[in-house]
Amino acid sequence: MTVHDIGTGPVSSPTGTLGTSAKLSLTPLQPGEPAFDDHHPPSAELVSDCVHCGFCLPSCPTYTLWGEEMDSPRGRIYLMNEGLQGEPLTSSMVQHFDACLGCMACVTACPSGVQYDKLIEATRGQVERRFERPRRDKALRSAIFALFPYPRRLRALRGPLRLHQRSGLSSLLRRTGVLDRISPTLASMEALAPPLERAEKVPERTPARGAKRGTVGMLLGCVQREFFPGVNAATARVLSAEGFEVLAPASQGCCGALSAHNGREDEAQRFARGLVDTFEGEGVDAVVVNAAGCGSTMKEYADLLADDPAYAERARAFTDKVRDVSEILAEAGPVAERHPLPVSIAYHDACHLAHAQGVRAQPRDLLRGIPGLELREIAEGDLCCGSAGIYNIINPVPARELGDRKAANVLATGAELLVTANPGCLMQVASSIERQGGHLALAHTVEVLDASIRGLGPERLGVGRATTART
């Protein structure tokens, strides 16, 4: 294998460019300085688990797009080993690490059990501490992390965004493609913004209906709370209908998933401590999550806070209680009546639910338990849609290619409704379907369950409306 440098322009690939964020200098942190310091570098033992068999290659989105060895999991592990051997952290290495979506499909595919998830997160922590990014890239990342992990700041954005959408300017920009010519990053951000729903707050306490089966805490999230409030409301209703008392403290903050997945260790730890503090005294049997990326990080708090003597044990106890909403519903079994819901759906596996958490059967089983519902599988179902946290903003070109590929496979099912379990996936696939001129309703898994339990028709999920996929 050889490491190829990328130059100072956009990163070329057989299918396009990575966009402005990949315009990196070729200067390492200090000439000759080793890539990694002593603070949690990628584990040499975990690196050695990779036997370079190649089973990961077809599962990797970037390798699928470009066929570049260093843009595959085993290629990136090779670069990690180079860093562990004392090679400097060059922009070429950083570009290949940045190009990874963190979808963890390779973890599922690997017959040797390589823990690539731990390796890439450790590596990204090193990159964020030790690599000096170009000012433009640094400014974009700073803006993202000053906004998305803060629900109040997102809430302040709702008014201007709703005005923008209702003015018709949003449709005009997408139709003309003017933003694509000015900035793919801005175009991606504008296209991803979902039509804002009516603000629907979840009560801090929702009592159980019927015989009480337990008390659960509920993560409200950041993007989920402000851009998809209907998902949170549906989650509380479904849990209540199934006999769970739901506690959703309004004071809770971000879970730290975006920060953890992008190497911002201190920030992620701060958010994690805050969430542990929030739920620790509530006496809940479980902490329920309805966003795949959030759940995967919350299940790793024990690792994230392992070095903190004040929180290490508390984080382990918290982690043991974290459940995706589909997990707890499947474990408990249904008690609420399911009314018929005659609709065909395509179920999309969110990567951080299927690969990072290993939750695949539970959502499908819950959906198949609804009378009249037909579930259809999507071709290349394990391939990431390109959302991947902030990836579709940082690297809009490959993200768009993956989104378009996913959208084409979804539309090919002929389903009336696309169902998934992550807000990022909903925004990404909706944008791609609209760009292809398709028409398809989209919903979270719990919204479908909620409609069936309440006896609502498919039209309440947007099915059959003569609208675009953005509705």
pLDDT tens column, 226-260: 888 999 999 999 999 999 999 999 999 999 999 99
Look at residues 264, 222, 282 and name the one whose alpha carbon lies nearest to residue 422. Answer: 222
More confident residue, 16 or 407: 407
- Rounded Cα distance between 421 and 441, Å, is 14
User: Is the same domain home to 32 and 112?
Assistant: yes
CATH number, domain with residue 305: 3.40.50
User: Is the same domain home to 254 and 178?
Assistant: no
Look at residues 221, 219, 305, 311 and name the one whose alpha carbon lies nearest to residue 258. Answer: 221
The amino acid occupying position 362 is: Q
* Domain end position, chosen among 144, 161, 192: 192
Residue 384 and residue 61 in contact, taking contact as beta carbons nearer than 8 Å = yes
The answer, yes or no, to whether residue 222 has pLDDT greater than 60, is yes
pLDDT tens column, 356-385: 999 999 999 999 999 999 999 999 999 999
pLDDT tier, 426 (very low <50, low <70, confident <90, very high otherwise): confident
Place of tokens 């942190």: 29
> Which stretches of 148-220 are DSSP H helices?
151-166, 169-176, 178-182, 184-192
User: Is the same domain home to 351 and 457?
Assistant: yes
> Which stretches of 52-183 are DSSP H helices?
61-66, 73-84, 91-99, 105-109, 116-130, 135-147, 151-166, 169-176, 178-182
Question: What is the domain count for the chain?
Answer: 4
pLDDT tens column, 346-356: 999 999 999 99
pLDDT tier, 174 (very low <50, low <70, confident <90, very high otherwise): low
- Rounded Cα distance between 291 and 242, Å, is 20
- Rounded Cα distance between 107 and 394, Å, is 23
pLDDT value of position 467: 42
More confident residue, 303 or 9: 303
Residue 148 and residue 390 in contact, taking contact as beta carbons nearer than 8 Å = yes
Mean pLDDT of the chain: 87
pLDDT tens column, 267-290: 999 999 999 999 998 999 999 999
pLDDT tier, 328 (very low <50, low <70, confident <90, very high otherwise): very high
pTM above threshold 0.85: yes
User: Is the same domain home to 323 and 212?
Assistant: yes
Q: Strand pairing of 16-17 and 12-13?
A: antiparallel
The answer, yes or no, to whether residue 187 has pLDDT greater than 60, is yes
In a domain, 466, yes or no: no
User: Is the same domain home to 383 and 440?
Assistant: yes
pLDDT tier, 28 (very low <50, low <70, confident <90, very high otherwise): very low
The answer, yes or no, to whether residue 17 has pLDDT greater than 50, is no
- Rounded Cα distance between 444 and 353, Å, is 13
Parent domain of 58:
12-133
